[in-house]
Structure 1
Amino acid sequence: MSERSLKRLAGVHPRLVALVKEAASLTPVDFMVTEGLRTRERQMALIRAGASRTKNSRHLTGHAVDVAAMVDGQVRWDWPLYPRIAAAFKAAAARQGTAIVWGGDWPTLRDGPHFELDRKAFP
């Protein structure tokens, strides 16, 4: 895990930090953390830009992270990479007993880079 990714985990719930670190050791697709804890101002800017649709993002409380796939040192957004990363997150979550939600499993507005602690277990 890069120093930059570790810095982006500042303020993120410790259970999610542990999950990200284990997923990084399990995944066949390298990834970097692009965002963890967000300010309300940043969230509103993302809504205005069309990159988010909610004012109640789990990022605001440190219960979510976004990642980006890295291939040959370059960020890649190709969809097939993200289910492979998600499999590592889900395996780590099962091993740690941490309930998570992957944005790629959402029925609408699928968000492959997004992982969050399940609201039922982590309100």
Structure 2
Amino acid sequence: MSFRLSTRSRARLQGVHPALVGVIEAAILTTPVDFMVTEGLRTPQRQASLVRAGASRTLNSRHLTGHAVDIAALVDGAIRWDWPLYPRIAEAIKAAAKARGVALIWGGDWPRLRDGPHFELDRKVYP
């Protein structure tokens, strides 16, 4: 089954680096689990608010420069945070990145504080 990005998800990609937007647009066509974009570019104020709330641990987020997105799995139209859904989505996003030659990091691969919904462009390639 092929999914598509909603108007809301596309709006949340505004200001995100074109390479990452292309990856997300390609991945939605091949993912086995539907997803939506919950956040892309963030203001410093939004990032500080997330740190204060404990939802982020850094004021130096890749979201501040448009080099990161967060997604949410959709099952029967409802957002789901079940961990097993995110590696399935990540596989499609990583494959789309590889096909496009885009260096991508998935928060689910981090050794500490895994973040399944988070994808960012590698700082080494996209400073």
Pair in the same fold by TM > 0.5: yes
Correspondence 1:22 to 2:26: yes
Partner of 2:16: 12
Structure 1 moving runs of 4+ over 2 Å: none
Correspondence 1:88 to 2:92: yes
Q: 1:98 aligns with which of 95, 99, 102?
A: 102
CA deviation map 1:35-84 (0-9, x unaligned):
00000000000000000000100000000000000000000000000000
TM-score, scaled relative to structure 2: 0.96
Aligned length: 123
Letter in 2 for 1:116: E
Q: Which whole-Å CA distance do the structure 2 matches of 1:74 and 1:65 have between them?
A: 19
Partner of 2:50: 46
Q: Between the two proteins, what is the percent identity of the paired residues?
A: 72
Gaps of 5+ in 2: none
Q: Which whole-Å CA distance do the structure 1 matches of 2:90 and 2:64 have between them?
A: 22
TM-score, scaled relative to structure 1: 0.99
Q: Which whole-Å CA distance do the structure 2 matches of 1:90 and 1:38 have between them?
A: 23
Correspondence 1:72 to 2:76: yes
Q: Which whole-Å CA distance do the structure 2 matches of 1:54 and 1:7 have between them?
A: 24
Q: Which whole-Å CA distance do the structure 2 matches of 1:93 and 1:9 have between them?
A: 16
CA RMSD of aligned residues (A): 0.3
Q: Which whole-Å CA distance do the structure 2 matches of 1:21 and 1:59 have between them?
A: 18
Q: Which whole-Å CA distance do the structure 2 matches of 1:93 and 1:10 have between them?
A: 19
Letter in 2 for 1:93: A
Q: Which whole-Å CA distance do the structure 1 matches of 2:80 and 2:19 have between them?
A: 26
Q: Which whole-Å CA distance do the structure 2 matches of 1:59 and 1:43 have between them?
A: 8
Gaps of 5+ in 1: none
